[in-house]
Amino acid sequence: MNLYEVLEYGAIVHHDQDLGILITANGAYLNWWNGSMETGWENSECRSFNIANLNGIMSLALHDVMDRAEKWVQEEMSWAY
């Protein structure tokens, strides 16, 4: 998938160029993408926010969503940090 197609899944809230990771956020999920601008992007996993509020991540401030995305990457890629 090219970057424009990835953006259909939500805004980019975290990226790590060295590890080839993008995290996008839509109304209910964080989506994990592996790849690069040259090779394209592949969705490999998603994580629910588990928010009781029906508005999902829309009830969170942007920095909270970004913090959750960064924490997820650090949990999964602890060997790299």
pLDDT of 32-58, one tens digit each? Answer: 999 999 999 999 999 887 665 555 666
- Mean local confidence (pLDDT), 50-78: 80
At 2-38, the pLDDT tens digits run 999 999 999 999 999 999 999 999 877 899 999 999 9
The rounded mean pLDDT for the chain is: 87
In the structure, what pLDDT confidence band is assigned to residue 61 with cuts at 50, 70 and 90? confident
**28 burial type by CB count under 10 A (0-12 exposed, 13-18 middle, 19+ buried):** middle
pTM: 0.83
Separation between Cα atoms, residue 74 and residue 54, nearest integer Å: 27
